[in-house]
Structure 1
Amino acid sequence: MNTIKYILILFDILLTISYIRSDGVCGDWDSFKDERCFRVYTDLGQHTYDSAQAICENNSATLATIHNADEQEFITKLVFITHKVVDEVWIGGHREGKVFQWIQEKADIGPYTNWLNGSPTNDTNEDCLQMVPKSKDMGKWDDENCTKKNLFVCQKLQKWTIDMIQQTLLNERKQLQSIIADMDSLKKANPIPIGFTYVQLPKEKAPQDIWPTFKWQEVSANYAGVFFRITGGSAAPVGQIQEESTPRLAMIEIADATGYKDKSDPIGKGGHAKIKAGSTGNPWFFQFDVSNDEVRPRNMAVRVWNRIA
């Protein structure tokens, strides 16, 4: 919060002391959004890479850099369609070691790139970056010998008027003030509404230890002994208890070669069944018992709480 307030103070200072030349945003250069001005130099002939960069610097500019598809589209159209350039043009990339960099930014080119198929090459004599005019590859990048002579594109920051700076800062200040108001509102808002249900997992803190200013009521008894599953499939509807069920011994039948048959009564949970084997003499019996154990997966108990105040 303090950081944002410091930014607002900085904006107030800038609104008071900002100064910038007021001779137009880009003059006779072409403007790109509210960021930079570009000029395609077609009236000075073709130059080597170093000569082109020097001309840009003499005009408080640098060779153009391209960081995304929007910039690429703008410069491609400006050079090859608006100015109808039919040859390659220099832009501000240069090989430094094994990688190409935007030399004026001292930063590796990327993540956006627009290399011609097969470029860049491993030829260390081709250390400078040009754009090609061929229709199917228009605007693609190619590495070239820096002594080659090309036309070139320069760029510089836009020259905002004091009114433009003031309006921009005012707009940004309004947005920051809105953000501060939203943050204050969230801070004052109750993040845990009454009726909120908290499930206390094993070895975790109780809700009153985490939110001591709220009043909590344990409602674990409402769900005692019940396991939970995701709704759908063979599950019962939400809120309805599905009684236990498991495959188990339910009935016993027996038959022998003499044609004797017998079967038990249905066996309930915790019950047993006895069945006679043999119909004459001294018959003997089998007895099967079903345990009354709870059917359950391996588990740990949790506690359930509701916020009530």
Structure 2
Amino acid sequence: MTSHDEAVESCKFAKTGDNDPVPTLVSIDTLDEQEFLNKNIFNQPGIVDSIWIGAKRGNLSTFVWDDGTGIDYDNWAEHMPSNDNKEIADLQANTVPINFIYVQLGGQKRPQELWPMYKWAEITSNYHGRFFRAEYAGLSEPFGYAQGASTKRLVSVTQENCHYEQSDYESIELIPGKESIYLLTGQRIKKDNTGLQFKISDDEIKPDNEAIRIFQRIP
């Protein structure tokens, strides 16, 4: 079936002359007009489901003709007009659905300031002790999975007999992920020095955390 908008457009193409007015969908303003249409058009089988008149819903309770004028005469069928659009209207009037979760970041407004017409309950305590991070492929667990704690830490100490020049250090630098040079710990008479080699992990320093996704509504 042709939509109402398509029917309106079809009328424009039905214009026959440059000076003729643009045809419009029919409006019904009196009982006589209604009876005329009933007799000549609406009594045809199936026509009711295949025809548009020039009326449209102005709001939930008001209908107007396509030219914007109000409807003074109506002849609704039983149980009409329906209110099938109520759910859509409710969504338009309540843009923030129940159970919507708002995450307030530092420096941002509380939801009570952004949407004062709604009731809000703070549920921060439900997530007490949990840290969150923005999801990033390869550096965090997949969305919805908790990630364990980690930190740079000493993972190995190796004792080795080594040449003098390899262990002649009283202090050394530890580089994450790499084995250090040997730290002198003693000498053996007429033998190589004894040294210790250290290695610390290159793990990312992070507490127990869970990835989050941050969304922004844009035009």
TM superposition score category, shorter chain reference: 0.3 to 0.5
Identify the structure with the greater helix proportion: 1
TM value normalised by structure 1: 0.30
TM value normalised by structure 2: 0.38
Q: Higher relative CO (CA 8 A, sep ≥ 6), structure 1 or 2?
A: 1
Identify the structure with the greater strand proportion: 1
